[in-house]
């Protein structure tokens, strides 16, 4: 099941016995920490769960899907998410 932010806040509140306001504050704080760590280039590692790291993307040629015109795509950054062992195990147990 996919959760939007309000559903995630509700689920965290239910599982942790926190109020929805406290859960929303925790989710917002996590978002801020994640964004700050990626902006600084450090990334974030939740041991066993996931690793988020900032990756550089080189400039490259692409194609406009509507016009098929060749375009220049500038260098930039992306985010790489790598699942940890606990997450991999939990997903494989569902299959």
Average pLDDT over residues 81-88: 93
Helix pair angle (20-40, 5-16), 10° resolution? 120
Domains and CATH numbers, the chain: 1-40 (no CATH), 45-95 (4.10.520.10)
Please work out, in degrees rounded to the nearest 5, the angle formed at the alpha carbon of residue 29 by the alpha carbons of 79 and 77: 15
Residue 93: predicted pLDDT: 83
Instruction: Look up the pTM and report it.
Output: 0.75
Mean pLDDT of 31-55: 94
């Amino acid at each position: 099941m996919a959760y939007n932010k309000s559903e995630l806040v509700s689920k965290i509140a239910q599982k942790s016995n926190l109020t929805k306001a406290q859960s929303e504050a925790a989710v917002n704080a996590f978002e801020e920490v994640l964004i700050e760590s990626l902006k600084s280039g450090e990334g974030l590692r939740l041991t066993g769960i996931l690793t988020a790291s900032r990756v550089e993307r080189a400039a490259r040629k692409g194609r406009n899907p509507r016009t098929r015109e060749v375009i220049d795509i500038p260098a930039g950054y992306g985010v790489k998410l790598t699942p940890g062992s606990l997450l991999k195990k939990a997903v494989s147990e569902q299959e």
